[in-house]
Amino acid sequence: MNRPVVTGGAGFIGSSLVRGLLAAGAGRVTVVDNLLTGREENLEEVRGSVELIRADIRNYAELAAALRGAGTVFHLAAIPSVPRSISDPVPSHEVNVDGTFNVLRACAEGGVRRVVYAASSSAYGGSEVLPKVESMAPDPRSPYAAQKLAGEYLARTFHLCFGVETVSLRYFNVYGPRQDPSSPYSGVLSLFIRSLLERTPPLIHGDGGQSRDFTFVEDVVDITIKAARARSAAGGVYNAGNGGRYTLNSVWDLLQSIEGVKIPARYGPPRGGDVRHSQADVTAAARDLGHRPRFSLEEGLRRTVAWHRDARMKKSGGS
């Protein structure tokens, strides 16, 4: 792949994508990241093949200089989290909406052929029909969901009006190595795994009966690279999910059985803006992108637990 650039490439998903691009033959990958939530150490062993440009997507001039002449831009930079977008909506709006507009504008002006945009399953929101198909009317229930959906609409209009080949991928609850559990806004599985390894009860918001289509990061990397190559995908929106659905209670059970422990969870009030159930229909992604998820939840969790255990050992100076 020619001159790929990854915005948010020092983050959890972005840094895995950088590795995937290098493994797929990209000689060098440019990363644009402001290192607000991304970390240089996420790129540790691939640092020699990465050009890291410390720029903020809210700053158009910096961004345009970084993206000019890129072959494909993977736009993953974002401020994630539904609850964060409710408690502090301005920064996430500025990054997720204004920043996405800046990325698209810089790509149009800089002659970039294709942009793959990290959209979100949160766009489906409250609709009760399962699984979620791309043709359903969106129903965003939080500023985060609306922001990510706005990004999709912008991507599509940049395709229609300015000829940039955009592909939006609605990522479904991604988990895996390098997901940071250190914030209360972190993805639930990173928090569950930290509890598991610390032998402390996790906090479940609500009754734990809510379900998600948890998707292993390697599968997300795979579909993202395929979206950059698929000829017929320009202007499209695709689910990037696993196709399964697990309640929080069942995932906590699975994690305990993987680790061979029994730690009852704590339950608190439900979280504002929360969606009850989420599951991807993966037909369109298989048909148009040739993507089929490879990792079962159990396999993905085993790998993620092993990675976290290792990382904790390294941090504490063990071997």
297-315 helix and 188-198 helix, angle to the nearest 10 degrees: 60
Cβ at position 160, least distance to ligand UD1 in Å: 25
The CA–CA distances, whole Å, from 160 to 49, 103, 226 equal 34, 16, 21
d(CA 8, CA 162): 24
Note whether 97 and 150 are within 8 A (CB).
Answer: yes
Restricting to residues 212-251, name those near ligand UD1 by CB under 6 A. 212, 248
Cβ at position 318, least distance to ligand UD1 in Å: 27
| Rg value, the chain, Cα | 19
Cα of first residue to Cα of last residue in the chain, in angstroms, is 37
Tell whether residue 187 is a contact of ligand UD1 (CB under 6 A): yes
Identify which range of 28-36, 80-88, 157-165, 306-314 contacts ligand UD1 by CB under 6 A: 80-88
Note whether 127 and 84 are within 8 A (CB).
Answer: no
Question: Which of 188, 223, 233, 280 is the binder for ligand UD1 (CB under 6 A)?
Answer: 188
Tell whether residue 82 is a contact of ligand UD1 (CB under 6 A): yes
Report the residue number, 123 or 228, with the smaller CB distance to ligand UD1. 123
Identify which range of 95-103, 172-180, 226-234, 254-262 contacts ligand UD1 by CB under 6 A: 172-180
Contacts with ligand UD1 by CB under 6 A: the residue count is 23
Question: Which of 122, 166, 224, 304 is the binder for ligand UD1 (CB under 6 A)?
Answer: 122
Tell whether residue 204 is a contact of ligand UD1 (CB under 6 A): yes
With 0-12 / 13-18 / 19 or more C-beta atoms within 10 angstroms meaning exposed / middle / buried, residue 85 is buried
Question: Which of 30, 100, 121, 242 is the binder for ligand UD1 (CB under 6 A)?
Answer: 121
Question: Which of 15, 16, 81, 224 is the binder for ligand UD1 (CB under 6 A)?
Answer: 81
Report the residue number, 144 or 158, with the smaller CB distance to ligand UD1. 144
Question: Which of 41, 51, 274, 299 is the binder for ligand UD1 (CB under 6 A)?
Answer: 274
Tell whether residue 173 is a contact of ligand UD1 (CB under 6 A): yes
What does the DSSP 8-state code read for residue 247?
E
Q: Is 168 in a helix, a strand, or coil?
A: strand
Strands (E) in 161-285, as ranges, are: 165-171, 174-175, 203-205, 211-212, 215-216, 236-240, 246-247, 266-268
Tell whether residue 37 is a contact of ligand UD1 (CB under 6 A): no
Note whether 83 and 16 are within 8 A (CB).
Answer: no
In our burial notation (b when 16+ CB lie closer than 10 A, e otherwise), range 265-288 reads beeeeeeebebebbbbbbebbeeb
Tell whether residue 279 is a contact of ligand UD1 (CB under 6 A): no
Question: Which of 275, 282, 297, 301 is the binder for ligand UD1 (CB under 6 A)?
Answer: 275
Tell whether residue 80 is a contact of ligand UD1 (CB under 6 A): yes
Tell whether residue 191 is a contact of ligand UD1 (CB under 6 A): yes
Cβ at position 197, least distance to ligand UD1 in Å: 15
Identify which range of 15-23, 109-117, 199-207, 256-264 contacts ligand UD1 by CB under 6 A: 199-207
**How many C-beta atoms lie closer than 10 Å to residue 169's C-beta?**
29
Cβ at position 48, least distance to ligand UD1 in Å: 30
Note whether 31 and 14 are within 8 A (CB).
Answer: yes
State the residues that interact with ligand UD1 by CB under 6 A.
80-82, 120-122, 171-174, 187-188, 191, 203-205, 210, 212, 248, 271, 274-275, 278
